[in-house]
Chains A and B, each alone.
Chain A
C-alpha cells in the first residue's frame, strides 16, 4: 500500500501538473505532491524497519534497508528542491527567461523524474531498473534545455547522446546477465531477471559471461554516475539547466545510478570475487583525481560544483569498491551527506547567480554584503563539502581514508591529493564570491533559504552525533552490500 503511494503520488503529480502546471499555484501543487511522497516514503521506512525486507507484487518490487534509505533521501531532497524552486522559478519568470508553458513542462517533468527514480530504486526486476533509469534520463533531457539557449541545447544534446549510448551498454549488460541466469532459473515468468532470485544463485553463475556483463553494466550505469572518462555530459548539463534541476541531478540521480551499479556488483561478486571491487576502486580514484584537477579551470559557479560532484561520486565509488562493513557504511553516509550538502550548495549558488545576473564566478562578488543568508549559505555549504570537521562529510571521508590506509595503502596518497587539490581550488574561488565589495541587486522575490540551512543542519547533526537508530540502519544496509 505504502509502495503504491510512493510510486503513485509523483505519477499523479506529473499528470496533474501537465494540466495545471502553468497556473500561478503550480509551484505550491508541486510542493504538496513532493510532501505527500515524502510522507508515503516515511511510512514505507517505518514498515521496513518494523517488519524487515519485503517482496511484493509477484516479487516485482523488493524493499530492503539499502534501497529504502535511498528512497527516503530521494523523497526528502525532492521536497526541499520543490520548496527552493518555488521562488527561484518565479524570479526566472520575472526576469523573462521562462514562459508559463515552459514552467508547466518543468513542473510535470520534475514529478515524472521523481517517479522514475523511485521506480528504479524500488524495483526488483533488473529489466525494469533499466527502463526506469532510461525514463529518468528522458524526463530530464527537456529540463536541461528548458531555457532554449544555444548552450543549453548543446548541453541537453550531449546529455542525451552520451547517456543514451551509456544506457544502451547497460541494456546489453542486463541481457548478458539474463542469459547467464536463464539456464539456472528457467525462462518461466521472469525469475532470471529478479534481483532476489539472482542473488540466491549468484555463486553458480558462469564467471566469463557475468564478468563481461559487469563490464557493460559498469560502463553503462557508470556514465550516469559521472565516472571518468565518461563524465563529459555532467558539467554541461548541470551548468546549463535550471538550478533546481542541477540540484536533483547532482543530489539524487547520481546516487540512483550508483545504486544500480552496486546492485550489479553484489550479484557479480558471487562468482568473480575481487575483480568488480577493484574495478570500482580504480574508476573511483580516477574520477576523483581528474575532477579535482579540472576544478582549477572552472569559471562558472555551477560547473565548479558539478566537477565537485564527480569528485565525490568518485570517492563514494572507491569506498564501495573497497567493500566490507566499514567502507560500505562510510560510503552510504557519504552518499547521504553529499546529496544533502551539494543540493544546498546549488540552492545557494542559484540565488547567488540570480543576484549577480551571471553564473561566471568573477561576476559574483560580495554576497554577504548583499544578502547575508545567501552568502553564509554558500560559505557554510562549501566548508561542509570540503570536509571541514564538524560537518558530516568529514566523518565519512575520515572513515573512508582510514579504511583505505588499513586495507589499500597505495590508494591513500591519491585520495589525499584529490581532496587537497579540490580544497584549494574550491575554497579559493568561493571566498571572494562571498566576501568583498558587491554590485549585485536584490531579488524581486524573497529567496528560499530554509532548504539550504535545513540541509546544512542535518549534515552538521550527522557529523556531531549520529542517532543510534540511523547508525544501526546504515550498518544493516552496509552488511547487505557485503
Chain B
C-alpha cells in the first residue's frame, strides 16, 4: 500500500492537471495572441510547480530554476513573441491541416499512450512528483501534435516552446531538475533560438510576403 499523498503532492498533481488542460486549450486555439497568452500561463504553472517542488524538497537550486522560468517563459519569451506578432500582423492562424475536433481526439489518444509509456518508469521514481511524469510526456506529445497540424511559422514555434516546457516539467518531476549548468545552457539555447527565429520571420516575410508555411513546400524530390 502506498501512503496517502501529502498536501504538497496533491497540489502538484493539481498543477500538472492544469498544465495538461492548457496544452489542450493550445491545441484548439486558433488566434495567435491568445495562444501566446496560454503559453505564458503554461510557463506560470511550470514556475509554480517548480517552486512547490523546491519548497517541499528543500532544494535551493530549484528556486533558481523557478526564477529562471518566471523570467524567461512568463515574461521575456511571450513579450518577444507578442512584439513579433504585432509587427508582422499575424494575429490569425489559418485553418489547421486537420480540423480541431479530430485533433482533440488524436490528442486524447496521445495522452493515453504517454501514460502507458511512463507507467513502468514512474513506479521507480522516488520523488514526490513521480505521478506527473506521464503528464509531462503527454504535454510533449501534444506540443508535437500542434507543430504538425499548424501551418503558420509563429504557431509552430509556440508549439516548439511548449514542447520545451514539457521537457522541463519532465526534468523537475522525475529528477528534481537537472544540474544548474545544464539548465542555464538549455535556457540560453532556447533564448538564442527564439531570437534567431525572430530574424528568420522577417527574412521569410521579406521573401514571401506571408508567414504561411505552405509557401515553403517547393523543395521536393523531383
Contact = CB atoms under 8 A, between A and B. Distances in A.
Interface residues of B, number: 48
A421 interface: no
Interface in B173-215: 174-176, 178-179, 181-182, 185-186, 188-189, 192-193, 196-197, 199-200, 203-204, 206-208, 213, 215
B38 interface: no
A371 B124 CA distance: 66
A475 interface: no
A397 interface: no
A190 B215 CA distance: 46
Contact of A171 (B174, B176, B186): B186
Contact of A157 (B117, B153, B181): B153
B121 A138 contact: no
Contact of A154 (B171, B218, B221): B218
A187 interface: yes
B121 A131 contact: no
A150 B207 contact: yes
A175 B171 contact: yes
A145 B189 CA distance: 19
B140 A172 contact: yes
Contacts of A187: 175-176
A128 B181 contact: yes
A178 interface: yes
A153 interface: yes
Q: Which of B120, B121, B176, B215 has the most CB of A within 10 A?
A: B121
A399 interface: no
Given A125-B181, A148-B203, A175 B147 contact: no
A206 B219 CA distance: 44
B120 A208 contact: yes
B156 A161 contact: yes
The A interface, classified by DSSP as helix, strand, loop or mixed, is helix
B125 A179 contact: yes
B199 A161 contact: no
Interface stretch (B73-81, B90-98, B102-110, B159-167): B159-167
Interface string A129-147: 0110011001001100100
B144 interface: yes
A138 B167 contact: no
B7 interface: no
B121 A208 contact: yes
Nearest to B187: A131
B126 interface: yes
B222 interface: yes
Contacts of B206: 148
Contacts, number: 131
A149 B207 contact: yes
B66 interface: no
A168 interface: yes
Contact of A206 (B124, B179, B221): B124
Nearest to B171: A175
A151 B221 CA distance: 13
A155 interface: yes
A175 B175 contact: yes
Interface in A232-283: 236, 240
Interface residues of A, number: 48
Contact of A153 (B156, B203, B221): B203
B9 interface: no
B175 A178 contact: yes
B170 interface: yes
Given A148-B207, A158-B216, A179-B125, A172 B185 contact: no
Contact of A178 (B163, B178, B213): B178
Nearest to A150: B207
Nearest to A208: B120
B181 A151 contact: no
Interface string A350-380: 0000000000000000000000000000000
B164 A168 contact: yes
Nearest to B193: A138
Q: Which of A149, A151, A294 has the most CB of B within 10 A?
A: A151
Given A160-B200, A165-B160, A183-B126, 16 more contacts: A127-B186, A128-B181, A138-B192, A141-B200, A149-B207, A150-B215, A150-B218, A151-B218, A153-B207, A154-B218, A154-B219, A168-B160, A175-B167, A175-B171, A178-B175, A178-B178
17 contacts: A125-B182, A127-B179, A127-B186, A135-B192, A142-B196, A150-B218, A158-B219, A165-B160, A168-B164, A168-B167, A178-B175, A179-B121, A183-B124, A187-B176, A190-B179, A193-B179, A298-B221
Interface of A: 125, 127-128, 130-131, 134-135, 138, 141-142, 145, 148-151, 153-158, 160-161, 164-165, 168, 171-172, 175-176, 178-179, 182-183, 187, 189-190, 193, 206, 208-209, 212, 236, 240, 294, 297-299
9 nearest A-B pairs in the assembled complex, by CB-CB distance:
A127-B182, A131-B185, A154-B216, A190-B179, A134-B189, A179-B174, A179-B175, A175-B171, A236-B219
